[in-house]
Amino acid sequence: MTLRCAVLDDFQSLATTITDWSPLAGKVDVVTFPDHFGSEDELALALAEFDIVVTLRERVTFPASLFARLPQLRLLVASGMRNSVIDFAAAKARGVTVCGTASSSTPPVELTWALLLGLARGIVPEANAFRVAGPWQSTVGSDLHGRRLGLLGLGKIGSRVAQVGLAFGMDVTAWSQNLTKERADEVGAVLAASKEELLESSDFVSVHLALSDRTRGLIGAAELARMCPTAYLVNTSRAAIVDQDALLTALHAGTIAGAGVDVYDTEPLPANHPMRTAPRLLATPHLGYVTRANYETYYGQAVEDIQAFLAGSPLRLLG
């Protein structure tokens, strides 16, 4: 019997062309969905007759209630090897195997710097003005050399962001709850005495922490108020680490110079969401991991995961 596989959120319509799915020919029929399903009811209806689902990162939540409505589901493949929106216990109880894929940390490092540089040099307003014959030079850029880059988190991504900052001649400091001086020294960063000290002394603050109970809401109104009015905040990590309402308030009030954001409390962001019209904001639609090389890995290894599952030896098990 031929199984059916659904590929969710194929926004760019490339899932079936960026890698070779032919090893599954005759065994699995693949159907891609280019539009996001906004509710559990929509998901349950669309996926009712599928045996396999491929989902990207943490775009789609799979709670126990959804698993209960998908009795035919046998395999769930999620890109990456960490996922906080899948109820693994519910999957196991329903007999659903959950597998992951590799994921490169390079793309979010590069996007972090795209946002930071875009903010510092006013790239978007200047480019927009250029195209409509607007003002010739309407902004004054912020220098990077000699300025302080404060990193919240110095793991795989944060340490690579630090290396780029050092290459620009920046003074790099870092802080997280478990960060040691020895680890900071390895990267060439200075361990900040506290989160508050880092926020108060940095010209650019970039978030590179995993989301957990300890980091949820780590940056709120009180923390944003500690930042200099000339400082910028960049978040390419997880939306819930920065209080979105507090950030909107700070941007409208001008208590910080600006923010670069790639992650949001709700994704895709509703058309009328206030983040879409906030001043001093350079925003992208969660592009942190969206590169050709990463997608080749995601979908290529999704095919491998399905092959291995069909052979009775699942790969890269999650949960």
C-beta of residue 36 within 8 angstroms of C-beta of residue 59: yes
* CA–CA gap between residue 216 and residue 190 (Å, rounded): 24
Residue type, 179: L
Q: Say how far apart CA 262 and CA 285 lie, in whole Å.
A: 6
Tell me if residue 252 is catalytic.
no
Distances in Å between the Cα of 167 and the Cα atoms of 144, 145, 160, 162 are 10, 9, 11, 9
> Is 200 assigned a catalytic role?
no
- For residue 220, give the amino acid letter: G
Q: What are phi and psi of 276, to 5 degrees?
A: -70, -20
Cβ–Cβ under 8 Å, residues 315 and 308: yes
Marked catalytic residue, from 57, 208, 238, 316 = 238
Beta strands in the chain (DSSP E): 3-7, 28-32, 52-55, 75-78, 97-99, 148-152, 171-175, 190-191, 204-207, 232-235, 258-261, 281-283
Catalytic residue among 267, 273, 280, 304: 267
> Annotated catalytic residue: which of 148, 208, 286, 316?
286
In this structure, what DSSP letter does residue 266 have?
S
Q: Residue 119 burial (CB < 10 Å; 0-12/13-18/19+)? A: buried
- C-alpha 43/C-alpha 138 separation (Å) is 47
CB contact at 8 A, 10 and 33: yes
Nearest to 224 by CA among 152, 160, 148, 125: 152
Positions annotated as catalytic residues are 238, 267, 286
